[in-house]
Amino acid sequence: VQQPGTPLSDQEYQQFFTSLQTARRASTACFLRALYGCQNPLIQRLDKYENHGVIPEGPICSELPGIPFFPNFCTFSFYRCTMKKYFIKV
């Protein structure tokens, strides 16, 4: 059992993104995030699922070369959407 607030394992990410494997589905989730923001209950449910039930407080460390951290998970998620790098982990 993972600690609340920690990112999913690689296998868990594979399951998490099963429904978002196509860029179109991931793009739709990003559209909803842009439209309603990170406080939307659906978006929060996705963010919590992605992080074992707790949306992490900032700063968020990332696997992105040249961008080691983001001030919070919402900023990281918006970056992921904006750059169309839907499946990058923190």
CA distance 16 to 50: 7
CB atoms under 10 Å from CB of 26, counted, come to 19
Q: What's the chain's length in residues?
A: 90
Per-residue pLDDT of the chain (90 residues; tens, 9 = 90+): 678 888 888 888 877 776 666 667 778 889 999 999 999 999 999 899 889 999 998 898 887 788 878 999 999 999 989 988 877 777
CA distances from 55 to 4, 8, 71, 90 (A): 9, 12, 13, 12
3-state class of 9 per DSSP?
A: coil
